[in-house]
Structure 1
Amino acid sequence: MSLTTEIETRLSNPPAMAVGSARPGTEPGYQLIRRNGAVTPFDPSKIAVALTKAFLAVEGSGAAASRRVHDIVADLTDQIVAALTRRVEAGRTFHIEDVQDQVELALMRSEHHKVARAYVLYREERARERARAANEAKATAVEPRLQMKDADGALVPLDEARLAAIIDEACAGLEGVAPEAILAETRRNLYDGISRDELALAPILAARTLVETEPDYAKVSARLLNDKLRREALSFVFGQAEEATQAEMAARYPSYFQAYVKAGIDHELLDPELAHFDLARLAGALRPERDLNFDYLGFQTLYDRYFLHVRGTRFELAQAFFMRVAMGVALREVDRDEKAIEFYNLLSSFRFMSSTPTLFNAGTRRSQLASCFLTTVSDDLDGIFKAIKDNALLAKYSGGLGNDWTPVRGLGAHIKGTNGESQGVVPFLKVANDTAIAVNQGGKRKGAVCAYLETWHVDIEEFLDLRKNTGDDRRRTHDMNTANWVPDLFMQRVEADGVWTLFSPDEVPDLHDLYGPAFREAYEAYEGKAARGEMHVFKQVRAVDLWRRMLTMLFETGHPWLTFKDPCNIRSPQGHVGVVHSSNLCTEITLNTSHDEVAVCNLGSVNLAAHVTADGLDREKLAATVKTAMRMLDNVIDINFYTIPEARRSNLRHRPVGLGLMGFQDALQTLRIPYGSDAAITFADESMEAISFHAIASSVDLAAERGRYSSFEGSLWSRGILPIDSVGLLAEARGVASEEGVFNRAATLDWEGLRQRVVTTGLRNSNTMAIAPTATISNICGVSQSIEPAYQNLFVKSNMSGDFTVVNAALVRDLKARGLWDEVMVSDLKYFDGSVGQIDRVPDDLKALYATAFEIDSAWLIEAAARRQKWIDQAQSLNLYIANPSGRKLDTLYRLAWQRGLKTTYYLRSRSATHVEKSTLKGTDGKLNAVSAVSAVLPSAAVAPAKAPIFVAEARSSGDATAGDVDLGNAWGKACAIDDPDCEACQ
């Protein structure tokens, strides 16, 4: 028996005694569908036996070989079983082909190419043999009629006609998809007695397997999932088993919608106030055809995490979901029916999307709709533990948290009440970390918090180590995000190779609230006191050494992020009533905090891709979108459910909102502009200028209608200083003689006219713009997240809803237009991890247009962000990517971010361990060339876009060690993974 025959035989039949079984016995609850349709318990030991005999056949049966094979097989079997059980949906069944796919994949990933190569070739031959046998038997065989198990357990005939009709309907209007292929794959996974839930999942899973060959199969999968949802929701709200096709929903939606609202109120999920809307009018405004616009990743995410359910049974259809959110946001409107319809049309068309807390909670009994909360922690036990309790209350309803811990005294500082010494800030950070994990937002997503500490705090060195996996675990926070709050003076000391002094905040209490020249004056005065021996707790370090350590920890652990105190405060419109002490969880919010004010921000994002055509930016459409979006965000402030009084007080007083954007790279690709180009920087500038202009103008309109925010007088706004003007304030504070080449201040719109309106009428909102990561809402809309470049053009994305194959549909369209999209191209994309840069037959213009994140010099991202920053009154979540890293490159990159006036940066990105599955390539040359191992990071020569400009000089030499000499050792891969399902930015 050949080794490949052995694998197939062992997987299909009961095992003999396992030679190297790592997981003996059956896997509880899982079943295996054999090719003849029979269902048997899934037994992992069969995999172990088959693999053992296969390896021994190749490598011999000596004692040393046997021991080595035992270890290899144990590991491979665990990998295969884990992959199968992780991916399986409800029903807990695998097909024999699925198991063999995972065996093949595990062999290839582990680089056991001799075994894998023979196995691939053998499977193809066996498939041909089975096809021949099936054709010969087809003429005489009578296909048995399958039955399915109904909800009450009774067996009824399986309705194959409806199954075929639903698949045909899901494929309607989509080119390049084949209903026959989906139906054939679906039938392969059916068995007699299949449950209704398994039957509903079978075509979804069948369509998912084809996404890599044609992106529109993602839409087919979403439509098939919607059919499952329709049966679930209609049966629930009407109290009896019901189902409907997409075509039938135009007539069914009105009656369903009214029953849905009643059911939601009866089960105490929806606000009873929703019943007082004109439900018939709203139902008539629903657009069922918009159900067809989803991709699978977006729809599955909504199904898993957003749609309302009762004990796991979803009863909220997609258009009802959008209308529920719209109604929840329109509750305080005068004509709330009209506004609900306006808001619904904006959301359901994907022109704008509210943030996740708003989508989760709008229209419910606990309408906590705000995204971000920023707090300052007091330097006493009452204040510290109140802050931790506040974190729990704020996180419970989906809020992301940013905590300013700088006021807490440092290690060794005197405690007057006990005449003892402080243990510093770190032990309390450990408690905050564990609280964030304990309060997990009802299982919808992990609690998430970011701790900020200013760079002069005496505990800063321990703070840098918080995310390390070594050392005293009691002084580690493995789940909490951390960020450095860096004053300009520190960066200037780094550039001058100067000395930096660390203090305990109880001895320098005013530094916390100072910035710019005032901070420099006070800081230097405290240094003088330290030199005279008048300070008790302080430490002097070389600034460049601390900078080097900051970069090293950022690289090794992904934390702390680098955020800049002075740009955040000098350009803050609200400097007259407070100080920005930190940013938020995702580094885009820059609002004042104090002991009696917890800053709150309410977010939503414009889908830039929906406002761009090949002819350019549709400014009229964008203006209309921004106007409605700003009204929605302002409404959130009054409707919001506040869990602590400090948040309510702050939000109602200042009324900040954060309008952002997503789909930036999709827009660039529509315009045929490579991300790494001067044209992309120009588009970033012009598009953000338009959003900024209309956001500020809309807030003026709201002020005219509803009144200006209460702390307007004295703000930069009231003095006629708009974000584009505050760039000059930063240049002045830094003593920049010429702004040329440092801060670009070019403008194209009528800013003088708007400036006069702002001064005369006022604004409704103290802050208007912030660019959030949009990781989940961009998935819902099917566009690239935020301002990010594409990670890969073909990859497997992991999030809390599972693993999803993602293909760049725009690239596929371009390749089809040039006759280049075929199985070989799919194979090449897999081999090169979603990059077209090394595929010879892809033209250079497409290589530049579809360059991936690690093929674009991050200096381009910083320059584009700098152009946006001049228009934004808050900040932006800016991830940075670096291939072939070195300390000098990191030093140059982060100095550039500071020099260009960016307020914050976010994650430093590395390659993920999640790669494209390469085991199911069909029709290749049989050489496994599509499944060979590749390096974790593509060579820098992989793509040749326009050369990145040289923005700053190399890190200068300063004595015997420079910041550019950071020793990264073997740390590459420890920075933030690009596709981490537990990461807030990846959600």
Structure 2
Amino acid sequence: MHSTEPVSQSAVSPVAVIRRDGTSSPFDSTKISVAVTKAFLEVEGRDAGTSTRVRELIGELTLQVETALLRHSGPDKPLHIEQIQDQVELALMRGGHHKVARAYVLYREEHAKARSRQPIAAEPVAPAISVRHPDGRVEPLDTDRLALVISEACAGLEAVSADAVLAETLRNLYDGITIAELSIAPVMAARTMVETDPNYSFVSARLLQDKLRREALEFVYGGVQQASHGEMGQRYPAYFAEFVHRGIALGQLDPELANFDLERLGAALVPDRDLRFQFLGMQTLYDRYLLHSDQHRYELPQAFFMRVAMGLSLLESDREARAIEFYDLISSFDFMCSTPTLFNAGTTRPQLSSCFLTTVADDLEGIFHGISNNALLSKYAGGLGNDWTPVRGIGAHIKGTNGQSQGVVPFLKIANDTAVAVNQGGKRKGAVCAYLETWHIDVEEFLDLRKNTGDDRRRTHDMNTANWVPDEFMRRVRADGEWTLFSPDEVPDLHDSYGPEFTERYRAYELAASRGEIRVFRTLKAKDLWRRMLTMLFETGHPWITFKDPCNLRSPQQHSGVVHSSNLCTEITLNTTVDEVAVCNLGSVNLAQHVTAEGIDHARLERTVRTAVRMLDNVIDVNFYTIPEAKRSNMRHRPVGLGLMGFQDALFALRVPMGSEAAVEFADRSMEEISYYAISASAELAAERGAYETFQGSLWSKGILPIDSVQLLADARGADLDLDRSSTLDWETLRARVVEVGMRNSNVMAIAPTATIANITGVGQSIEPLYRNLYVKSNMSGDFTVVNPALVRELKELGLWDEVMIGDLKYFDGSLGAIDRIPAEVKALYATAFELDSRWLIEAAARRQKWIDQAQSLNLYIAAPSGRKLDELYQHAWLRGLKTTYYLRSQSATHVEKSTLRGTDGKLNAVSPVVPAPAPTAVPVDPNPGAACSIDDPDCEACQ
């Protein structure tokens, strides 16, 4: 037997390892090294043990495993032997050593089968185990209660075994276990089974709720408290009133909540809705959303939803009735508010808005005022989009000092560091996106901001960036023409111009430059700049490509300003000035809840949208504004952004592949309905509450709805717009109603990424295609096994769901394409994002865009990028009239996302996310870990 030398200075750690028989021993990294070595010898032969390359590789892998394990353990947090083996398997897979990992998996499975053949008692029998409480008391393990809780967690779920979870839990216990560790043990046991059946995700979530119930009840009532789900059904109403009073006493909840009829609201809670959570959603809620004091959670899920509903009902005339209506909508998962609303509704600092857009002025005071605003807005969980175009470029004259400007980049570096320092109240990373128009003299330096090479003082590694591209530039690219860069202090009106007016002014400035009347400018080939934009987008993930003219020519608010940028996630398109910070309040319809195999449930969707628009409108009035420019803008224009999530899940229900004409048609028709109901709801609110202040002069006031504004873009573009404009609903009647009563909101729709609220509700994010059918998802709560439940149901019906299928899905990156025994129609239905041609995503987005008054966060996927493919893709997006695009998703060379291994999910056993390497491509690749943008970047949850 061969082994590597110890990889750390102290191979034996004070951390304990719990064996399967309940005994323990010190953690010893040399045992990991031996296990990894055996796996390599099995695949590469005995000579591999003498290879320097293999020995070094084994040492690196062992260190990775040791580091990941010890990061989440300590003297009072022992490791289980299964955790260690899971981490070894994960490291091998992430390192691309698939054959070695497969050998290791087979070895584990053989030993597991050998253990399973050993005689077992009819019922799991716990060893003599004592449990330690925080106050020092020691009690025997209450096996009966443990069995009851596990049995409740499995009730009503197919293909799960309470006996198996209980047996696995008992195997993981040890004498003297703490009550905190005991509460986690069944969760850990159940989550190891998620890949065998997705329903174990529900089991894990319910078991985690048992821990939460104990924690919350003990905090609210004091003493030792515990309640099963069944017992909690009786206790929820009384607990709810106590929860509200305790939250007010702690200074966390708005004292006005005590003036609600808490008995009526408590009686309206539906405890069984706690059973709807999957593990990822419940863990996310536990870690990041539920109110706590000194890390003691005291807010249970249904209290959480009612607290949010109360916070949005404060100014309603019948507050209790509206709170119950709002509660029913979000607790049923038909609709979900955005993360800032969920964080802060009903609290003493109700900053409920998702996105803020600012324009930075071209003077020192204005620049640092903009950066200060970023900090204040970020503090309470707002995502930021900054328009930096007005700031003069490198070499421009500074009148006050008679010197030359260093350009916009040094100030972007300060904005970047501010976002890192002010991390959204400690709940998630501060997040900001800087926008710059393509004609700015500093645009080439702007493209390099996310590179890992060059002068680090002119790099912004934590800030998102986006190009704000005028149509004139795209025409020059297509015509292989010249393009001129200017400093904005010499061409000030370009910033506020768009469409034909921009083209006229831009060409006039080019002539002026040729006559020597402009001091700072540079001319280059438009195609060269475009090529570099696409190359940097692939290499670094930034800057994103967004289109200035469609955003402005179709904006309902053309009469009151200009859209100078989008937001952090490219779905908001609102006017900004140095005096007005645009604000948007987001929420998303769960489309999966409104679709059956027969199609859309029209009545349910209409009810959801009408209530959701009212909730979003209420956000504006109860909101806590951190800066006056935001309040002024929001109260005048009252924009909201209703979006959707669960689009892919809806297609599964309809049995429609994402890459098909039927999916494009469904995108069109479903968005048409949402648009119709949302505009109608805003008009009815205007009839009830009054139109927004700047309604007169808007496109709305002229009877021009989003579907009609497509013609405005067509008039400006000419032949450079190719978009289907079909419709099916009675838009003429709605136009007349809008002109008659007005609109309550200047903007009504925007499709955001829904990064975390989709996790909470257990559906696919936003309009995203299926990422993988089986994989590990990383976010700030840890790593979670995700299995496509729709696929599992189908494979069970076909008799194909077994251990071999699970192994095949792991081996083939969660893709069905290479698995011969799966029928072709099933492969098409469950095709993953990188198996789709992204032009299908653009076609569907274009159909939606005609109904939306703002934009949509549209990610594009490309498995094997090349300059030609990127050029065709983004020109296609422009020709289809899209307003914005978001991330370009590339596939890593090592496919690290495929690692769906037992025990790797959740913060309970979280592992450090590995940033994938860039995919092989003909485009030159900068050595930047962000080059292949990870679809599950735990730091990329800006909007929702």
Answer whether TM exceeds 0.5 for this pair: yes
- For residue 816 of structure 1, report the CA deviation from its aligned partner: 1.1
The yes-or-no answer on 1:860 pairing with 2:816 is no
Tell me the SS of whatever aligns to 2:756.
helix
Aligned to 1:948: none
Aligned to 2:666: 683
Q: Which runs of 5+ in 1 are unaligned?
A: 8-18, 922-934, 940-963
Aligned to 1:33: 18
Aligned to 2:67: 82
**Aligned AA (1:77):** T
- How many percent of aligned residue pairs carry the same amino acid? 69
Tell me the SS of whatever aligns to 1:976.
coil
Change (3 A) 1:57 1:969: closer
**Residues 451, 928 of structure 2: 8 Å contact kept:** no
Aligned to 2:8: 23
Tell me the SS of whatever aligns to 1:647.
helix
**Residues 568, 942 of structure 2: 8 Å contact kept:** no
Which one of 409, 416, 428 corresponds to residue 392 of structure 2? 409
> Root-mean-square deviation (CA), in Å?
2.6
- For residue 869 of structure 1, report the CA deviation from its aligned partner: 0.4
How far apart, CA to CA, are the structure 1 residues paired with 2:848 and 2:38? 61
Aligned to 1:523: 506
Within a 5 Å distance, the mapping from 1:884-903 to structure 2 comes to 884-903=864-883
Tell me the SS of whatever aligns to 1:915.
helix
Tell me the SS of whatever aligns to 2:397.
strand
**Aligned AA (2:64):** Q
**Aligned AA (2:15):** Y
Change (3 A) 1:53 1:747: closer
**Aligned AA (1:92):** K
Tell me the SS of whatever aligns to 2:589.
strand
Deviations 1:250-295 (A, max 9, x none): 2100110011001101111101010000000000000000000111
How far apart, CA to CA, are the structure 2 residues paired with 1:628 and 1:422? 51
Aligned to 1:917: 899
Aligned to 1:514: 497
Count of residues in Structure 1 that have an aligned counterpart in Structure 2: 929
How far apart, CA to CA, are the structure 2 residues paired with 1:646 and 1:811? 49
Aligned to 1:616: 599
Tell me the SS of whatever aligns to 1:234.
helix
Aligned to 1:804: 784
How far apart, CA to CA, are the structure 1 residues paired with 2:200 and 2:68? 23
**Aligned AA (1:875):** A
The yes-or-no answer on 1:169 pairing with 2:152 is yes
**Aligned AA (2:678):** A
Deviations 1:496-541 (A, max 9, x none): 1000000000000000000011111111110011000111000001
- For residue 61 of structure 1, report the CA deviation from its aligned partner: 10
The yes-or-no answer on 1:782 pairing with 2:762 is yes
The yes-or-no answer on 1:582 pairing with 2:565 is yes
Within a 5 Å distance, the mapping from 1:756-767 to structure 2 comes to 756-767=736-747
The yes-or-no answer on 1:708 pairing with 2:717 is no
Deviations 1:734-762 (A, max 9, x none): 1239x7xx121111111000000111110
Change (3 A) 1:28 1:388: farther
- For residue 63 of structure 1, report the CA deviation from its aligned partner: 13
**Residues 90, 197 of structure 1: 8 Å contact kept:** no
How far apart, CA to CA, are the structure 2 residues paired with 1:332 and 1:89? 49
**Aligned AA (2:193):** L
Aligned to 1:73: 58
Change (3 A) 1:756 1:122: closer
- For residue 864 of structure 1, report the CA deviation from its aligned partner: 0.5
Which one of 934, 940, 944 corresponds to residue 977 of structure 1? 934
**Residues 358, 368 of structure 1: 8 Å contact kept:** yes
Tell me the SS of whatever aligns to 2:831.
coil
**Residues 403, 450 of structure 1: 8 Å contact kept:** yes
Which one of 100, 104, 111 corresponds to residue 85 of structure 2? 100
Change (3 A) 1:336 1:26: farther
How far apart, CA to CA, are the structure 2 residues paired with 1:160 and 1:809? 32
**Residues 129, 174 of structure 2: 8 Å contact kept:** yes
**Aligned AA (1:981):** P
How far apart, CA to CA, are the structure 2 residues paired with 1:676 and 1:182? 39
- For residue 89 of structure 1, report the CA deviation from its aligned partner: 10
Change (3 A) 1:687 1:66: closer
Change (3 A) 1:748 1:109: closer
Aligned to 1:820: 800
**Aligned AA (1:293):** R
Tell me the SS of whatever aligns to 2:400.
coil
Aligned to 1:44: 29
Within a 5 Å distance, the mapping from 1:446-525 to structure 2 comes to 446-525=429-508
Change (3 A) 1:769 1:60: closer
Change (3 A) 1:419 1:745: same
Deviations 1:393-443 (A, max 9, x none): 000000000000000000000001111000000000000000000001122
**Residues 484, 563 of structure 1: 8 Å contact kept:** yes
How far apart, CA to CA, are the structure 2 residues paired with 1:204 and 1:916? 23
- For residue 150 of structure 1, report the CA deviation from its aligned partner: 1.3
Deviations 1:433-490 (A, max 9, x none): 0000000112210000000000000000000000011000000000100000000000
Which one of 643, 646, 657 corresponds to residue 674 of structure 1? 657
Change (3 A) 1:978 1:90: farther
Change (3 A) 1:376 1:969: closer
Deviations 1:663-721 (A, max 9, x none): 00111110111111111111111100000001000001000110000100000000111
**Residues 911, 978 of structure 1: 8 Å contact kept:** no
- For residue 322 of structure 1, report the CA deviation from its aligned partner: 0.1
Structure 1 stretch displaced more, 23-32 or 819-828? 23-32
Within a 5 Å distance, the mapping from 1:944-963 to structure 2 comes to none
Tell me the SS of whatever aligns to 2:135.
coil
- For residue 88 of structure 1, report the CA deviation from its aligned partner: 6.1
**Residues 487, 520 of structure 2: 8 Å contact kept:** yes
How far apart, CA to CA, are the structure 1 residues paired with 2:922 and 2:144? 69
How far apart, CA to CA, are the structure 2 residues paired with 1:364 and 1:304? 18
Structure 1 stretch displaced more, 909-918 or 425-434? 909-918
Aligned to 2:912: none
How far apart, CA to CA, are the structure 2 residues paired with 1:974 and 1:513? 33
The yes-or-no answer on 1:440 pairing with 2:397 is no
Aligned to 2:183: 200
Change (3 A) 1:806 1:938: farther
Aligned to 1:658: 641
- For residue 844 of structure 1, report the CA deviation from its aligned partner: 1.0
**Residues 792, 801 of structure 2: 8 Å contact kept:** yes
Q: Which one has more relative contact order, counting CA pairs under 8 Å at least 6 apart?
A: 2
Within a 5 Å distance, the mapping from 1:831-870 to structure 2 comes to 831-870=811-850
How far apart, CA to CA, are the structure 1 residues paired with 2:214 and 2:125? 32
The yes-or-no answer on 1:726 pairing with 2:709 is yes
Change (3 A) 1:971 1:237: closer
- For residue 972 of structure 1, report the CA deviation from its aligned partner: 11
**Residues 21, 73 of structure 1: 8 Å contact kept:** no
The yes-or-no answer on 1:254 pairing with 2:211 is no
- For residue 241 of structure 1, report the CA deviation from its aligned partner: 1.3
Tell me the SS of whatever aligns to 2:728.
coil
Q: Which runs of 5+ in 2 are unaligned?
A: 904-915
- For residue 201 of structure 1, report the CA deviation from its aligned partner: 0.6
